[in-house]
Amino acid sequence: MEAIETKGLRKLYRSTSRRLGKMIVALHDLNLVVEKGHVFGFIGPNGAGKTTAIKILVGLISPTQGEAYVMGHPAGSVESRKNFGYLSEVSLYYNFMTANELLHLYGRLFGMSKADRLKRVPEVLEMVGLSDWGGSRLSEYSKGMQQRFGIAQSLISNPPLLILDEPTSGLDPMGQKEVKDIVVRLRERGYTIFFSSHKLTEVEHICDTIGIINRGEMIRMDTLSKLLASAGGETIVAGVEMPEELANRLTSGGADIIGEGGRIYRVSIPVEKAVTELESIQDAGGKIISMDTRKPDLEEVFVKLIKQHEGGRTNG
Ligand SMILES: Nc1ncnc2c1ncn2[C@@H]1O[C@H](COP(=O)(O)OP(=O)(O)OP(=O)(O)O)[C@@H](O)[C@H]1O
Ligand SMILES: [Mg+2]
């Protein structure tokens, strides 16, 4: 059994704007699979349909068409609800209450006994690094601490699956790292985590699988290493001083001119061809003045995939 599975999910919203027509297709035939014990990054630009898909999974809205299962149970069913914790995109908490008070309140909503809550509340605070802050009101928390509190809240009933809608959004790099570290620790403890983000680079190191969604469609679902492989391998970028005729001749041999300033050119060469290419450049009178290695950039892959998908849409 998979932790999450959707088949042909479709969601139409009624639009209030006449200019846009009557219906907005928020999800179009969305299929995804999240394996147990995995961290799944659900990545897509603003308006791609991430929150819509998540709301269907947690049972807040129902799909127009298609099926969704959470831990083997139909999304929205009472049985499915016992299996996940959820952090919504916009978390509004009762700021005048302390973290302890709020967590006890959530625990009561899940039907936990007082003894269970007294044990679990400090545990979840510890898991998100807020052990010293249980007695403080949420109004005293920074945005990053509030987000971490949100994760603690989602953990209160100890569900095997966490569904987090943009847990790193609006946080500074330090805050993002803290949230990512929490996700990694939770994965080590055996939790399955499904979370959304609009930036691939923000999440690359913590995901087992990445699903890229654009305009309501899953355009790629793959492991990080396969995504990186499709971006091409490592390259050597050399600064070369050479006459224009030589630069013009170069592009035929596997080297690429990616920038120039006067007689100095920036030349990109795949690692495996670098030695022979650079030798032939020198033999032809070019002077190598700098050298650097460059790894494929995930953000470039992301932008490329989105652009390809957009291109496919307008052409077809
Ligand atoms: N309640 C609604 N009524 C009408 N249209 C909606 C509603 N909610 C979302 N939409 C539309 O559905 C599409 C998908 O929105 P959704 O919020 O799921 O995207 P998202 O990927 O979560 O975006 P973001 O990164 O900005 O949070 C958008 O075009 C949005 O305008
Ligand atoms: Mg959203």
Ligand showing the shortest atom-to-Cα distance for residue 49 = 1
Q: CA 75 to CA 82: how far, in whole Å?
A: 11
Looking at the DSSP bridge assignments, the partners of residue 268 are 237, 256
Q: Which residue has the higher pLDDT, 51 or 229?
A: 51
Name the percent of the chain lying above pLDDT 70: 97
How many degrees, rounded to 5, is the angle at CA 148 between CA 58 and CA 173? 115
- The reply to whether 235-294 shares the fold of 4-229 is no
Give 163-214 pLDDT, tens digit per residue: 999 999 888 889 999 999 999 999 999 999 999 998 887 777 889 999 999 9
Q: Where do the structural domains in the chain lie, given as residue ranges?
A: 4-229, 235-294
For residue 55, the ligand 1 atom closest to its alpha carbon is 18
Give 242-260 pLDDT, tens digit per residue: 888 888 877 666 677 777 7
Ligand showing the shortest atom-to-Cα distance for residue 44 = 1
Q: CA 109 to CA 105: how far, in whole Å?
A: 6
Q: What is the mean pLDDT of residues 218-241?
A: 85
**Contact between residue 171 and residue 146 where contact means Cβ atoms under 8 Å apart:** no
**Could you name the CATH architecture of 235-294?**
2-Layer Sandwich (3.30)
List the residue whose alpha carbon is closest to atom 2 of ligand 1: 13
Query: Which residues, judged by CB distance below 6 Å to any ligand atom, belong to the binding site of ligand 1?
Result: 13, 24, 26, 44, 46-52, 89, 198
Q: What is the mean pLDDT of residues 265-272?
A: 87
Measured in angstroms, how far is the CA atom of residue 90 from the centroid of ligand 2?
Answer: 9
Q: CA 33 to CA 195: how far, in whole Å?
A: 13
Res 10: pLDDT: 97
Ligand showing the shortest atom-to-Cα distance for residue 211 = 1
For residue 14, the ligand 1 atom closest to its alpha carbon is 4
Fold topology of 4-229 = Rossmann fold (3.40.50)
Res 254: pLDDT: 67
List the residue whose alpha carbon is closest to atom 17 of ligand 1: 51
Q: pLDDT category, 316, cuts 50, 70, 90?
A: very low
Counting ligand 1 atoms within 8 A of each CB, the residue from 52, 89, 91, 202 with the most, and so the one to mutate, is: 52
Res 41: pLDDT: 95
Does residue 315 carry a pLDDT above 60?
no
**Contact between residue 102 and residue 45 where contact means Cβ atoms under 8 Å apart:** no
- The pTM (predicted TM-score) of the whole model is 0.83
For residue 48, the ligand 1 atom closest to its alpha carbon is 21
Counting ligand 1 atoms within 8 A of each CB, the residue from 6, 9, 12, 13 with the most, and so the one to mutate, is: 13
Q: CA 103 to CA 9: how far, in whole Å?
A: 33
Q: Which residue has the higher pLDDT, 311 or 177?
A: 177
Measured in angstroms, how far is the CA atom of residue 266 from the centroid of ligand 2?
Answer: 40
Query: What type of residue is 26?
Result: A
Give 5-59 pLDDT, tens digit per residue: 999 999 999 888 766 678 889 999 999 999 999 999 999 999 999 999 999 999 9
Res 180: pLDDT: 93
